Structure 1
Amino acid sequence: MPSLPTLRPLDVAESGELLTLQRAAYVTEAQLYGDVRLPALVQTLPELLTELTAAGCLGAWLGSRLVGAVRVCEDDGVLHIGRLVVAPDLQGQGIGSRLLAAAEAATRLPRATLFTGARSTGNLRLYARCGYVESAREELRPGIQLVHLVKQLAGTR
């Protein structure tokens, strides 16, 4: 297996692998929040397929194994980044940073946004290292607060 994953757009036919990776990656989030009903954990394959028709998804592959992914959608002049996931056994090795940078590099838009949970300190550190700054907080429900972040991109490349 190569030491660095190969990044490429995810094919809809690979959505089952994406759903498996997503669930594995979000287990630690569920533990952190004491909530096994997080949207990423209860999303069904038909819901994911519908989502993938409206948004792009970039995957990171080590050989034939999907080890990371990020969803992107361009809307209202903004790059919306979502569901950045990395296989639990490979977290902390730069895969998430590479996916994020590749998503940003693929757009001509001047700004990117994303959000994560306020208790997700590892995610917040990653996004800060990658140049994202907090723009707002939102109380999703009691005990769960979302942190919205934004980054100014070079744009019009």
Structure 2
Amino acid sequence: MRADTPPEPAVTAAAPEDAGPIWSLQRAAYLTEAQLYGDPYLPPLTEGREQVRASFDRGPVLKAVLEGRIVGAVRGVAADRAFLVNRLAVAPDVRRRGIGRALMAELERRAAADHPGLERFALATGHGSEDNLRFFRSLGYTEASRERLSDHLVLVHLGKPAPGAAPGEPVP
């Protein structure tokens, strides 16, 4: 590795004892979303440490570790034939280094391996989160619908087919 090449994060399964650092990371990562929408009560910011810990019982939670620090996390849950991606978070000081992409690739790989009948991946982000929308589109996600949550926030629901899903199936 060249001296000017930043180290790669290690993406692995998180453990319940990682809930505290993941909770702190999530709050730091979603602060920019709160500022964008002028809303400090977005669900990722109001979720408590125990709710993060409880997410380990519902589905996989992955973490990205760089130089001993958790710098990224994502979680998901299987629901019928879909896999719902939730709470992708990358520390603001290490964004745009491929951490989110690595987390998403590993989560999708694990979900497809663990759920052979999986037809699609689904997630949601805010309508004004242009960087997030651009990022998810670059991963193959397309817009399925929009849902108004309040005067200032519309959720954009995105989806993409799981590997092996029949072509032409609807992707909500």
TM-score, reference length from structure 2: 0.86
Deviation at 1:91, TM superposition (A): 0.9
2:89 and 2:38 map into 1 onto residues whose CA distance is: 19
Deviation at 1:107, TM superposition (A): 2.3
1:95 and 1:21 map into 2 onto residues whose CA distance is: 13
Identity of aligned residues (%): 41
Contact 1:7-1:58 within 8 A present in 2 as well: yes
Q: CA RMSD in A?
A: 1.2
**1:38 and 2:42 matched:** yes
Please list the CA deviations of residues 80-134 of structure 1 after superposition, one character each: whole Å capped at 9, or x if unmatched: 1010000001111111011111111112323100000000000000000000000
Label 1:61 to 1:17 Cα distance change in 2 as closer, same or farther (>3 A).
same
Question: 1:19 aligns to what?
Answer: 23
Question: 1:10 aligns to what?
Answer: 14
1:51 and 1:100 map into 2 onto residues whose CA distance is: 17
Question: 2:61 aligns to what?
Answer: 57
- Which structure has the bigger radius of gyration? 2
Within the candidate set 53, 63, 76, 1:72 is matched to 76
Deviation at 1:141, TM superposition (A): 1.2
Contact 1:111-1:155 within 8 A present in 2 as well: no
1:19 match: secondary structure: helix
Q: Tell me the amino acid that sits aligned with residue 9 of structure 1.
A: A
Q: Tell me the amino acid that sits aligned with residue 136 of structure 1.
A: S
Question: 2:115 aligns to what?
Answer: none
Q: For structure 2, which runs of at least 5 residues remain unmatched after alignment?
A: 1-5, 113-117, 166-172
Contact 2:20-2:49 within 8 A present in 1 as well: yes
Contact 1:24-1:88 within 8 A present in 2 as well: yes
Within the candidate set 135, 145, 169, 1:126 is matched to 135
Count of matched residue positions in the alignment of Structure 1 and Structure 2: 155
**1:84 and 2:88 matched:** yes
2:119 and 2:50 map into 1 onto residues whose CA distance is: 32
Q: For structure 1, which runs of at least 5 residues remain unmatched after alignment?
A: none
Moved more, 33-42 or 122-131: 33-42
2:63 and 2:55 map into 1 onto residues whose CA distance is: 15
Q: Tell me the amino acid that sits aligned with residue 79 of structure 2.
A: D
Question: 1:97 aligns to what?
Answer: 101
